[in-house]
Structure 1
Amino acid sequence: MHLDHSLPSLPHQHTSAGHIRPDGSRRALRIGLGGPVGSGKTASVAALCRTLRDRWSIAVVTNDIYTREDAEYLRREAVLPPERITAVETGACPHTAIRDDISANLEAVEQLEDALHPLDLVLVESGGDNLTATFSKGLVDAQIFVIDVASGDDIPRKGGPGITTADLLLVNKTDLAPHVGADLATMAADAKRQRGALPVIFTSLTSDEGIREVADWVTAHLSRWRAEAAV
């Protein structure tokens, strides 16, 4: 359910790392998924993999503080072959490894590219963080920030970098709105005020169909990424 009425064809992309690998080949598009604990980041990654894996060559890097639980979940669900899923144990606040010292995540991405080349897409999932979580432009080319209705319909109004600057804001668990007293129209209006023209998608990931609009958004990015790399 897309409630902000205007989904631009493509928001801006971060291209500081360039499209080309050191060997001259095209590198994968990197998309980061961040958001609070329990918002649905891993469910979003799983659904994207299941929806896009027959068309694109995909790999995933997950981040947890002291475990590899999210990567293990994705492997158990068989969303991709196990060699396409790897994990980073950050050992510190999750935002540190995606924004401040990105070396472990960069190494994980580059190892996947070396082993599985050519890749089209690498999804980098942050550990659960707060509304300040953002990815370094040196790590990912676009960012999806995931929040959920059950955390309160005031979350978009509170703002923070994740809400205001992510290339896509995904509001998950809309099916719970009647049960938690959340007003989706209010959330949509608040998100619009915070984000301007940047897109917002409201959905429920209780089935993979709920990821369809997000998958279309990713596919649009991938198509442009490949076209730009070919120039």
Structure 2
Amino acid sequence: MRVGIGGPVGTGKSSLIAELCRALSGELEVGVVTNDIYTTEDAEFLRSTGVLPVERIVAVQTGCCPHTAIRDDVTANLEAVEQLELDHGRLDIVLVESGGDNLTAVFGPALADVQIFVLDCAGGDDVPRKGGPGITRSDLLVINKTDLAPYVGADVEVMLAGARSHRGDLPVLPISLRQGGAAQVAAWVVHQLEHHRTGTLTTVDVGPPVPHFHADGDGELYGHSH
């Protein structure tokens, strides 16, 4: 199952991924693909944490707007996922991190089976009200850094109300990674994986089909669309 994790710069995407790897890698086979425009900084940060063997963390340098590589032409990300499985065997979960982006960014359905969008209290409690596909249509919205709310003049309940006005019944999790909040996200991911394995996973439709690739038994890549 491929889990897309997006959100604006500085909201805690890489830190969340590190905590998810800590929580999940003891029981599941996990890999990570990061996206940066010109650097491999996110991958280097995750490798430095020791949460996974370094070879299970692959960096994609998009050289373009992050939206392109996660939504419009996802080939580089899919090839990175395929290479992880060719090198390490079948994985249970691959966490795909978008480069720092804005509220319009979503993952193409050919890349992500489920999508998590991350906001934070330091960005302002009015951000969820502004909407955008990341807020309105992600499978899980995470509002991070709730421990900072009193220090930055943010009201978590205002943020939750703004998010729910757009999301209806789609889940929203207010968390602090510093206070163990990643456990709630990890539990949600495991629940989605159970549905994925039984073929009962239902996700939000975020865009048109995109060609993508799988490896056959000989390691060759072949393409098709969903």
Q: Give TM-score, length-normalised by structure 2.
A: 0.87
Structure 2 unmatched runs, 5+: 201-226
Residue 188 of structure 2 corresponds to 217
Q: Secondary structure in 1 aligned to 2:31?
A: strand
Residue 31 of structure 1 corresponds to 3
Residue 21 of structure 2 corresponds to 49
C-alpha deviation, 1:118, in angstroms:
1.7
The aligned runs of 1:70-89 (5 Å cut-off) are 70-89=42-61
Q: Deviations over 1:193-226 (max 9, x none)?
A: 110000000001115x210110000000111222
C-alpha deviation, 1:227, in angstroms:
2.4
C-alpha deviation, 1:175, in angstroms:
0.6
Match of 2:168 among 192, 196, 211: 196
Q: Please state if 1:146 is matched with 2:118.
A: yes
Q: Percent identity?
A: 62
Work out the CA distance in 2 between the residues paired with 1:161 and 1:87: 25
Residue 182 of structure 1 corresponds to 154
Q: Could you say which structure has the greater relative contact order, defined with CA pairs below 8 angstroms and 6 or more residues apart?
A: 1
The aligned runs of 1:54-203 (5 Å cut-off) are 54-203=26-175
Structure 1 unmatched runs, 5+: 1-28
Work out the CA distance in 2 between the residues paired with 1:148 and 1:190: 13
Tell me the amino acid that sits aligned with residue 77 of structure 1.
T
Tell me the amino acid that sits aligned with residue 76 of structure 2.
A
Q: Give TM-score, length-normalised by structure 1.
A: 0.85
C-alpha deviation, 1:114, in angstroms:
1.2
In the alignment of these two chains, the number of paired residues is 200
Work out the CA distance in 2 between the residues paired with 1:115 and 1:104: 16
